Amino acid sequence: MAIAEKLAEFRKIADNPKTQLEHYKSKGMKAVGVMPYFAPEELVFAAGMFPAGMWGSNTKSISRAKEYCASFYCSLVQLDLEMLLDGTMDGLDAVITPTCCDTLRPNSQNIKVAMKNKMKVIFLAHPQNRFPECGVKYTESCYKKIRAELDEVSGHKTTDEEIQNAIKVYNRSRAARREFVKLAGAHPEAVSAVMRSGVLKASYFMLKDEYADKLEALNAELKALPASDWKGVRIVTSGIICDNPTLLKILDDNKCAIVADDVAQETRSFRCDAPEDDADPIHALAIQFRNQDYDILLYDKFSSQNRRGEYVAKMCKDNHADGLILFMQQFCDPEEMEYPYLKKALDAAGIPHIRLGIDHQMRDFGQAQTAIQAFADVLD
Amino acid sequence: MNDKEKAEQAPVSAEAAPVKKKKTQSPGVLALQKVVNDVYQAARDAKKEGKLVGWSSSKFPCEIAETFDLNVVYPENQAAGIAAHHDDTRLCTIAENEGYDADICSYARINLAYAMGNETTNEGRRMPMPDFVLCCNNICNCMTKWYENIARIHNIPLIMVDIPYSNYPEVDDDFVAYVRGQFDIAIKQLEELTGKKFDEEKFKRVCGYANRTANAWLKVCDYLQYKPSPMSGFDLFNHMADVVTARGKKETAEAFELLASELEENLKTGKSTLPFPEQHRIMMEGIPPWPHLRELFKPLKEHGLNVTAVVYAPAFAFRFNDVEGMARSYAVAPNSVCLEKGVDWRSQLCKDNKVDGALVHYNRACKAWSGYMPEMQRRWQNELGIPVVGYDGDQADSRNFNAAQYETRVQALVEAMEEADRKKESGK
Ligand code: SF4
Q: How far apart are CA A300 and CA A343, in angstroms?
A: 18
Q: pLDDT tens across B212-246, in order?
A: 999 999 999 999 999 999 999 989 988 988 988 89
Single out the residue of A4, A100, A57, A51 nearest to residue A206, CA to CA.
A51
The helix (run of H) or strand (run of E) holding residue A251 is: helix A245-253
Instruction: List CB contacts (< 8 A) between A331 and chain B.
Output: 103, 367
**How large is the average pLDDT for residues B49-68?**
94
Q: Roughly what angle, to the nearest 10 degrees, separates helices B75-84 and B234-245?
A: 150
In a domain, B16, yes or no: no
Q: Give the CA diameter of chain B.
A: 74
Nearest-Cα distance to chain B for A132, in Å, is: 8
Amino acid at A300: D
How high is the pLDDT of residue B318? 77
Q: How far apart are CA B295 and CA B236, in angstroms?
A: 17
In a domain, B370, yes or no: yes
Per-residue CA distances from B200 to B66, B185, B322, B362 (Å): 12, 15, 9, 43
Query: In terms of residue numbers, what domain contains B154?
Result: 22-426
Residue A8's φ and ψ, nearest 5 degrees, are -60, -35
What is the residue-averaged pLDDT of chain A? 97
Which residues on adjacent β-strands are paired with residue B55?
B73, B133
Q: How do B305-309 and B280-285 pair as beta strands?
A: parallel
**How large is the average pLDDT for residues A233-256?**
98
A264 within 8 A of A172, measured Cβ to Cβ: no
How high is the pLDDT of residue B16? 41
List Cβ neighbours of B39 (8 Å cut-off, separation of 6 or more).
Answer: B73, B245, B246
Q: How far apart are CA B140 and CA B318, in angstroms?
A: 18
In this complex, which of A107, A125, A332 lies closest to B164 when CB atoms are compared?
Answer: A125
Nearest-Cα distance to chain A for B319, in Å, is: 24
How high is the pLDDT of residue A350? 98
SS3 category, A247: helix
Instruction: For residue B389, give the DSSP letter.
Output: E
A332 to chain B: closest CA residue? B103
**How large is the average pLDDT for residues A256-275?**
98
How high is the pLDDT of residue B42? 96
Per-residue CA distances from A320 to A104, A173, A184, A259 (Å): 35, 26, 14, 8
In this structure, how many other beta carbons lie within 10 angstroms of the beta carbon of residue B237?
A: 20
In this structure, how many other beta carbons lie within 10 angstroms of the beta carbon of residue B412?
A: 14
CA A306 to centroid of ligand 1, rounded, Å? 21
Q: How far apart are CA B390 and CA B381, in angstroms?
A: 12
Single out the residue of A241, A292, A285 nearest to residue A266, CA to CA.
A241
Question: Best mutation site among A62, A124, A129, A329 for testing chain B: the one with the most B CBs within 10 Å?
Answer: A129
In a domain, B388, yes or no: yes
Q: Can you give B113-177 as a three-state secondary structure string?
A: HHHCCCCCCCHHHCCCCCCEEEEECCCCCHHHHHHHHHHHHHCCCEEEECCCCCCCCCCCHHHHH
For the Cβ of A269 lying below 6 angstroms from any atom of ligand 1, the answer is no
**How large is the average pLDDT for residues A57-65?**
95
Domain extents for chain A? 13-159
**How large is the average pLDDT for residues B247-251?**
91
Give the residue, by CA position, lying nearest to ligand 1 atom 7: A332
Per-residue CA distances from B413 to B82, B230, B380, B389, B420 (Å): 30, 23, 14, 6, 11
List Cβ neighbours of A260 (8 Å cut-off, separation of 6 or more).
Answer: A181, A185, A236, A267, A315, A316, A318, A319, A321
Instruction: Count how many domains chain B has.
Output: 1
In this complex, which of B155, B162, B165 lies closest to A99 when CB atoms are compared?
Answer: B165
**How large is the average pLDDT for residues A57-68?**
96
- With 0-12 / 13-18 / 19 or more C-beta atoms within 10 angstroms meaning exposed / middle / buried, residue A275 is middle
Residue B188, pLDDT above cutoff 70: yes
Residue B13, pLDDT above cutoff 70: no
In a domain, B10, yes or no: no
Nearest-Cα distance to chain B for A304, in Å, is: 4
How high is the pLDDT of residue B19? 46
Residue A279, pLDDT above cutoff 80: yes
Q: Which of residues 314-343 of B touch A (CB under 8 A)?
A: 335, 338-339
Per-residue CA distances from A57 to A15, A76, B367 (Å): 10, 8, 22
How high is the pLDDT of residue B23? 67
Q: Which of residues 144-183 of B touch A (CB under 8 A)?
A: 144-149, 151-152, 154-158, 160-162, 164-167, 174-175, 177-178, 180-182
Q: How far apart are CA B145 and CA A332, in angstroms?
A: 13
How high is the pLDDT of residue B379? 93
How high is the pLDDT of residue B244? 83
Residue B317, pLDDT above cutoff 80: no
Instruction: List CB contacts (< 8 A) between A338 and chain B.
Output: 145
How high is the pLDDT of residue A201? 98
Residue A204, pLDDT above cutoff 50: yes
Residue A265, pLDDT above cutoff 60: yes
Q: pLDDT tens across B324-375, in order?
A: 888 888 887 777 789 999 999 899 999 999 999 999 999 999 999 999 999 9
pLDDT above 90 as % of chain B: 79
**How large is the average pLDDT for residues B151-158?**
98
A334 within 8 A of A300, measured Cβ to Cβ: no
Instruction: For residue A8, give the DSSP letter.
Output: H
CATH hierarchy code of domain A13-159? 3.40.50.11890
Residue B409, pLDDT above cutoff 90: yes
In this complex, which of B104, B167, B335 lies closest to A336 when CB atoms are compared?
Answer: B104
Residue B1, pLDDT above cutoff 50: no
Residue A53, pLDDT above cutoff 80: yes
Q: How far apart are CA A182 and CA A200, in angstroms?
A: 12
B175 within 8 A of B164, measured Cβ to Cβ: yes
pLDDT above 70 as % of chain B: 94
Q: Is the dihedral of CA B174, A279, A98, A94 positive or negative?
A: negative
Q: How far apart are CA B165 and CA B171, in angstroms?
A: 10
Local confidence band at B428 (pLDDT 50, 70, 90 cut-offs):
low
- Which mutation among A99, A103, A268 tests ligand 1's pocket best, with the greatest number of atoms within 8 A of CB? A103
Residue B53, pLDDT above cutoff 90: yes
Local confidence band at B22 (pLDDT 50, 70, 90 cut-offs):
low
Q: How far apart are CA B231 and CA B308, in angstroms?
A: 9
In a domain, B1, yes or no: no
Q: What is the ipTM of this complex?
A: 0.96
How high is the pLDDT of residue B319? 80
- Put simply, whether B275 touches A (Cβ < 8 Å) is no
Q: How far apart are CA A202 and CA A211, in angstroms?
A: 8
Single out the residue of A168, A176, A172 nearest to residue A276, CA to CA.
A168
Single out the residue of A73, A74, A37, A76 nearest to residue A58, CA to CA.
A76
Q: How far apart are CA A299 and CA B144, in angstroms?
A: 6
In a domain, B7, yes or no: no
Q: pLDDT tens across A298-351, in order?
A: 999 999 999 999 999 999 999 999 999 999 999 999 999 999 999 999 999 999
Atom of ligand 1 nearest to the CA of A296: 1
List Cβ neighbours of B52 (8 Å cut-off, separation of 6 or more).
Answer: B46, B70, B71, B131, B132, B193, B194
- Which mutation among A34, A71, A74 tests ligand 1's pocket best, with the greatest number of atoms within 8 A of CB? A74
